[in-house]
Amino acid sequence: MTRSAVRTAPGSLVREAAGRLAGGGSGTVFALLVLIFAVVFALNPSFAEPPSLLAFVKKAAPLVILAVGQYLVIVSGELDLSVGSLVGAQVVIAAALIDGEPDRTVPVVLLMIAFGAVVGLVNGLVTTVLRVPSIITTLGTMLVLYGAIRLWTGGAPTGALSEAFRQPGRGGIEDLPVIGQLPWALLILLAVGAAAIVLMRLPYGRMLVATGDNDTAARFSGVRVWRVRTVAFVLSSLLATVAGILIGGYAGVTAQVGDGLEFMAITAVVLGGVVLGGGRGTVVAAMAGALTVEALFTLFNQLSLPSTIQPTVQGLIIIAAVGYAARERTRRSPRSAEPQSPQPDTPMEPSRDGSR
């Protein structure tokens, strides 16, 4: 988005730089992230040591990657509920097909990528060509994948992952001074993040946001909306596949793997200030949202709160974040003198609804 260019006041230079870095991202989520980490460090100084932080990143990486995929779909005005099931399916498929044989690792990973792409393509085409609302399409895909895996495995995963398969999620460059292990998961995360930032700066990224903002206008300006959205779904499923590889590597196969991850990812994206319905928010803020969700759960753990509180908190975050965004928009809308956001680094914008 171009709105950051209108700011020139000296006091906002730093913020503008940060805004540019984030492609116009949200300040709120970064503030929250810093705050949560400050509290965690205060509670438990050992968490600030590099090995602990890297362990945190290793755990958080799959969700951040899922959030990137979910961001691409959400910013284009759709939703992808199938990613949690897809992660679960990919891990179960990997375990069953690899079955402990190291030689099968690479072919199975390639197969998983192909499977991920097909799932994304189906989600995308059903949504854009058949015009089924994406919440229904991906809910259907979620159930189909969940059911198919249960049917195939009889309810319990079989097989085993090879050590090589587990490396990306569990291993890293070992025996480094100070930090100990530099996890592969961090490097993969950085690569995915960088690629996503670049993608959002390319014409495709701008078309994606334009589509989410107002798909009719985008269509009139020559964007092939169906293609742009379908690609977003494919990317989301491919990133879910990457997340599945990392999660399977991190913790191995259990029957529950992937359960509820779609809502974690949506929570992360919304917390990052990305507006449900599309057109607003940055990918960096979505990634920060994922880190914030993970950090929040870490904080709860440090406070010895029961993990059963997590769903409630997730719900509150979604309501609070969406409510906050809506409030910002309604509050600002009567002031026609301020059509532009005075803070370029916030995701909240005057409503795209033409009636306001």
Partner 1 sequence: MRIPRALLVSGAAMSLLLTACTTDVPDDDDAAAAGPAPDQEWFDPEEFERQLAQREITPEGPEDQPWLQAIEPEMVDTGEYRLEGEEAEAPTVCFSNASVSNPWRVTGWITMQQQVEVLQDSGEIGEFRVSDAADDDNQQISDIQAFVDAGDCAAIIISPSTTATLTPAVEAACESGAPVIVFDRGVDTDCAVTFIHPIGGYAFGADAAEFLVEELEPGSTVLALRILPGVDVLEHRWAAAQQVFGESDLEILGHEFTEGDGAQIKDLVTQYLQRGDVDGIWMDAGDGAVAALEAFEDSGRPYPVISGEDELSFMRKWQEEDITAIAPVYSNFQWRTPVLAATRILNGEEVPEEWVLPQEPVTAADLDDYLERNADMPSLHYAKFGGEDLPGFPEAWQDR
Binding site for partner 1 (CB under 8 A): 27-28, 31-32, 35, 39, 44, 46-47, 51-52, 55, 59, 62, 150, 153-160, 170, 180, 247, 250-257, 259, 296, 298-309, 313, 316, 320, 324, 328, 338, 342-343, 346
Three-state SS sequence of the chain: CCHHHHCCCHHHHHHHHHHHHCCCCCHHHHHHHHHHHHHHHHHCHHHHCHHHHHHHHHHHHHHHHHHHHHHHHHHCCCCCCCHHHHHHHHHHHHHHHHCCCHHHHHHHHHHHHHHHHHHHHHHHHHHHCCCCCHHHHHHHHHHHHHHHHHHHHCCCCCCCCCHHHHHHHHCEEEEECCCEEEEHHHHHHHHHHHHHHHHHHCHHHHHHHHHHHCHHHHHHCCCCHHHHHHHHHHHHHHHHHHHHHHHHHHHCCCCCCCCCHHHHHHHHHHHCCCCCCCCCCCHHHHHHHHHHHHHHHHHHHHCCCCHHHHHHHHHHHHHHHHHHHHHHHHHHCCCCCCCCCCCCCCCCCCCCCCCC
Which residue, 275 or 299, is less far from partner 1 as judged by CB?
299
For helices 203-213 and 225-251, the axis angle rounded to 10 degrees is: 110
Instruction: Give the shortest CB-218-to-partner 1 separation in angstroms.
Output: 30
Residue-wise over 75-104: b if at least 16 C-beta within 10 A, else e? bbbbbbbbbbbbbbbbbbbbbbebeeeeeb
Instruction: Give the shortest CB-28-to-partner 1 separation in angstroms.
Output: 5
Which residue, 101 or 133, is less far from partner 1 as judged by CB?
101
Which residue, 204 or 324, is less far from partner 1 as judged by CB?
324
Which residue, 78 or 328, is less far from partner 1 as judged by CB?
328
Which residue, 247 or 268, is less far from partner 1 as judged by CB?
247
Instruction: Give the shortest CB-344-to-partner 1 separation in angstroms.
Output: 12
Which residue, 54 or 231, is less far from partner 1 as judged by CB?
54
Instruction: Give the shortest CB-356-to-partner 1 separation in angstroms.
Output: 17
Q: Is the dihedral of CA 145, 150, 151, 153 positive or negative?
A: positive
Instruction: Give the shortest CB-156-to-partner 1 separation in angstroms.
Output: 4
Which residue, 205 or 347, is less far from partner 1 as judged by CB?
347
Which residue, 28 or 85, is less far from partner 1 as judged by CB?
28
User: Can you tell me the distance from the alpha carbon of 112 to that of 98, in angstroms, rounded to the nearest whole number?
Assistant: 11
Instruction: Give the shortest CB-79-to-partner 1 separation in angstroms.
Output: 23
Instruction: Give the shortest CB-160-to-partner 1 separation in angstroms.
Output: 6
Which residue, 262 or 328, is less far from partner 1 as judged by CB?
328
Instruction: Give the shortest CB-346-to-partner 1 separation in angstroms.
Output: 8
Instruction: Give the shortest CB-92-to-partner 1 separation in angstroms.
Output: 11
